[in-house]
Amino acid sequence: MRKPVYLDYHATTPVDPRVLEAMLPFFGERFGNAASRSHGFGWEAEKAVDLARRRVAELAGAAPREIVFTSGATESDNLAIKGVLEAYRSKGNHLVTMATEHRAVLDPVRRLQQSGAETSVLPPGRDGLLDLGLLRAAIRPDTVLVSVMAANNEIGVIQPFREIGAICRETGALFHCDAAQAFGKFALDVNEDNIDLMSLSAHKMYGPKGVGALYVRRRNPRVLLPAQMDGGGHEFGMRSGTLNVPGIVGFGEACALCAREMEEDAGRMSTLRDRLKATLESALVGTAVNGSMAHRLPGNLNMSFASVDAEALLLSLPGVALSTGSACSSASVEPSHVLRALGIGEQAARSSVRFGLGRFNTEDEVDDAASQVIDAVRKLRSLAPGA
Ligand SMILES: *Cc1c(COP(=O)(O)O)cnc(C)c1O
């Protein structure tokens, strides 16, 4: 059997072969602990980590000392949100976020709320975008943090993060941006974009799983951030634990590749995505795109297929690796909180599929996937009661 076409790049990306090659020696003879100061094994590892830190920083427009390596964007989100609320307690106890954030933001926010923080969770417009007037109205004198993602992992919508950051500057709130889906996909610059803290994940940008970073601004203003993980004082005291040297090396290599290739990748990706969209729309009635097309990641298409259950659709599509907008809990399939926040009805949300295209997809793959989706939608509709 042929391998399925992988169109789930928002869930994770394959490791680029060039990244893997850069990592391999650090599983082998270059196994040193980057914190070992007394011999060459340690120095070699430390040097590799330093290079990786410079590469991550460069892609973010940051200084190397502002990059704190973590296990991924979930940890970075927790460190940023819990840390800022802890450090700025004397200033205030209020934070602002959006209903369409990743669970790695919403769940820490909920936990803080349970322990006494005040939270404002703003709804997006129907297009998924944040209304800046709504943000201004939500920020209060005691607001210490605004957390809004750069690009959404389900609908691919890109928020006006630079304007959000400018409003935060003006009002004295810190701006945390979850850029797990955005970093390495289009140009970001923490200074031009007014970002104070930024969460990154290697495995969303052709690096390995289990490694990421938090950018923490050091000047104008200097962000205070107490560690959530105490131990040997690694990572400028903000995140203890022996560094994942092979993972960090891979993350650095992934950043260097994105710096060189992301513009070209983006052009190819949006051409393929638009081709997929056009093919589906011309062959099928009752399709609808969820979220803004104008402000969107080049590789994302989130589409509803009227009177088709997305879970059933994926089950009848073994040749394509895709996601629905739903999250399976043990008891039931809940429609996506992102689609519901857009004001999309439960039926439409349950009929939505997320297509995530990436660096290694070809035109043939996309055409093949489109024809399989078209056949499966037609078949399910012909079987549906009342069709
Ligand atoms: C994948 C993702 C995360 C979680 O990242 P991990 O590195 O897997 O912990 C957080 N936020 C967004 C927007 C994501 O897409």
CATH number of the domain to which 235 belongs: 3.40.640.10
Q: Is the CB of 178 under 6 A from ligand 1?
A: yes
Task: Label the pairing between strands 352-356 and 300-305.
Answer: antiparallel
Q: Are residues 77 and 182 in the same domain?
A: yes
Range of the domain at 120: 17-256
Q: What is the distance in A from the centroid of ligand 1 to the CA of 12?
A: 9
Together in a domain, 348 and 213: no
**In a shared domain, residues 177 and 270:** no
> 323 CB under 6 A from ligand 1?
no
Same domain, 161 and 307: no
233: left (phi over 0), alpha (psi -120 to 50) or beta: left
149 lines ligand 1 (CB under 6 A): yes
| Structural domains of the chain, count | 2
Residues 191 and 290 in one domain: no
| Cis, peptide link before residue 226, omega less than 30° from 0 | no
d(CA 339, CA 348): 9
Q: Look at residues 256, 284, 310 and tell me which one is the last residue of a structural domain.
A: 256
* Same domain as 369, residue 241: no
Q: In this structure, what is the dihedral angle of CA atoms 246, 251, 254, 258, given to the nearest 10 degrees? A: -170
pTM attached to this predicted model: 0.97
Report CA(154)–ligand 1 centroid distance (Å): 11
Residue minimizing CA distance to atom 5 of ligand 1: 73
Catalytic positions: 328
Contacts of 383 (CB under 8 A, 6+ apart): none
Residue 218 shares a structural domain with residue 280: no
Find out whether 203 and 23 touch, Cβ atoms under 8 Å.
no
Per-position pLDDT tens, the chain of length 387: 679 999 999 999 999 999 999 999 999 999 999 999 999 999 999 999 999 999 999 999 999 999 999 999 999 999 999 999 999 999 999 999 999 999 999 999 999 999 999 999 999 999 999 999 999 999 999 999 999 999 999 999 999 999 999 999 999 999 999 999 999 999 999 999 999 999 999 999 999 999 999 999 999 999 999 999 999 999 999 999 999 999 999 999 999 999 999 999 999 999 999 999 999 999 999 999 999 999 999 999 999 999 999 999 999 999 999 998 766 555 567 889 999 999 999 999 999 999 999 999 999 999 999 999 999 999 999 997 655
The secondary structure of residue 178, as a DSSP letter, is: E
Ligand 1 atom at shortest distance from the alpha carbon of 209: 7
Say yes or no: 273 and 208 in one domain. no
Distance CA 332, CA 182 (A): 31
Q: Which residue's CA lies nearest to atom 14 of ligand 1?
A: 180
User: Ligand 1, from 10, 56, 74, 300: best to mutate by most atoms within 8 Å of Cβ?
Assistant: 74
Looking at the fold, whether 240 and 270 belong to one and the same domain comes out as no
Residue 158 per-residue DSSP state? B
Same domain assignment for residues 374 and 335: yes
Backbone angles phi, psi at 174, to 5 degrees: -80, 150
> What CATH number corresponds to the domain at position 270?
3.90.1150.10
Indicate if 245 and 281 belong to the same structural domain: no
Could you please report the per-residue DSSP string of 111-132?
A: HHHHTT-EEEEEPP-TTSPPPH
Q: Of 199, 231, 256, which closes a domain?
A: 256
Final residue of a domain: which of 229, 256, 283?
256
